[in-house]
Chains A and B, each alone.
Chain A
Amino acid sequence: MLEDKLFIFRFKQGRPDALRQIYDKYKVELLKLSVVLAGDINTAEDIVHDVFVKFAQSAERIKLIGSLKNYLVTSAINRIRNHLRNSNRRCETSLEGTESITSSEREPYQWAILSERLKLLSEALQQLPYEQREVICFRMEMDMTFSRIARLQGTSVNTVKGRYRYGINKLRSLLNSEVDK
Chain B
Amino acid sequence: MNSADKIKRFFKKAELGINPDADEKVFNDMLAQQKTKEQVPAKPEIWRITMKSPIVKLAAAAVIIVLVVLGLFEFIGTENTSGVVWAEVARKVQSSRGVVYREKGSSTEYKYPKGPGYNIIYLVPKYYRSDGYNGEGELWISMYDNRETGIRIVLLHGQKGYVREKMTMTEAGDQKHADTIDPRKWVQKFMSCKYSKLGQKTIDGVLSEGIETTDLTLVGGAVNHLQIDSFVARLWVSVETGYPVLLKGEFTGQHSGNMVIDQFQWDVELDPSVFEPNIPPDYEQM
Stretch at the interface among A74-82, A88-96, A109-117, A152-160: A109-117
Question: Which of B12, B36, B40, B59 is close to A57, meaning CB atoms less than 8 Å apart?
Answer: B36
Provide the A104-126 mask, 1 if CB < 8 A to any CB of B, else 0.
00001111111101101100000
Bin the interface of chain B by size: 35 or more
Contact A65 B180 (CB under 8 A): no
Interface of A is mostly: helix
Contact A175 B10 (CB under 8 A): yes
- Name which residue of chain A comes closest to B64, CB basis: A64
Contact A17 B141 (CB under 8 A): yes
Question: Which of B3, B12, B19 is close to A168, meaning CB atoms less than 8 Å apart?
Answer: B3
Is A99 positioned at the interface, with any CB of B under 8 Å from its CB?
no
- Name which residue of chain B comes closest to A33, CB basis: B16
Contact A115 B34 (CB under 8 A): no
Interface of B is mostly: mixed
- Name which residue of chain B comes closest to A119, CB basis: B14
Report A-chain residues with C-beta under 8 Å of the C-beta of B251.
2
Is B202 positioned at the interface, with any CB of A under 8 Å from its CB?
no
The smallest C-beta distance from B65 to any residue of chain A, in angstroms, reads 10
Which residue, of A23, A52, A54, A65, has the highest number of chain B Cβ atoms within 10 A? A65
Question: Which of B8, B11, B141, B253 is close to A20, meaning CB atoms less than 8 Å apart?
Answer: B141
Contact A140 B26 (CB under 8 A): no
Bin the interface of chain A by size: 35 or more
Contact B49 A19 (CB under 8 A): no
Contact B107 A110 (CB under 8 A): no
Is A32 positioned at the interface, with any CB of B under 8 Å from its CB?
yes
Question: Which of A3, A56, A111 is close to B33, meaning CB atoms less than 8 Å apart?
Answer: A56
Is B76 positioned at the interface, with any CB of A under 8 Å from its CB?
no
Contact B39 A32 (CB under 8 A): no
- Name which residue of chain A comes closest to B72, CB basis: A9
Q: How far is the CA of A65 from the CA of B58 in the complex (A)?
A: 10
Question: Which of A3, A54, A109, A172 is close to B7, meaning CB atoms less than 8 Å apart?
Answer: A172
Question: Can you add 18 more A-B contacts, CB < 8 Å, to A2-B107, A19-B30?
Answer: A1-B228, A6-B72, A9-B42, A13-B177, A14-B165, A17-B132, A23-B26, A49-B29, A56-B29, A57-B37, A59-B37, A60-B37, A64-B49, A110-B22, A115-B17, A117-B13, A140-B12, A168-B3
Which residues of B come within 8 Å of A, CB atoms? 3-4, 6-19, 21-23, 26-27, 29-31, 33-34, 36-42, 45-46, 49, 56, 59-60, 63, 66-67, 70, 72-73, 105, 107, 109-110, 113, 130, 132, 141, 143, 152, 154, 156, 163, 165, 167, 169, 173, 176-177, 180, 226-228, 251, 253-255, 257, 259
Which residues of A come within 8 Å of B, CB atoms? 1-3, 5-6, 9, 12-17, 19-20, 23-25, 27-28, 31-32, 35-36, 49, 52-57, 59-60, 63-65, 108-115, 117-118, 120-121, 136, 140-141, 168-169, 171-172, 175, 178-180
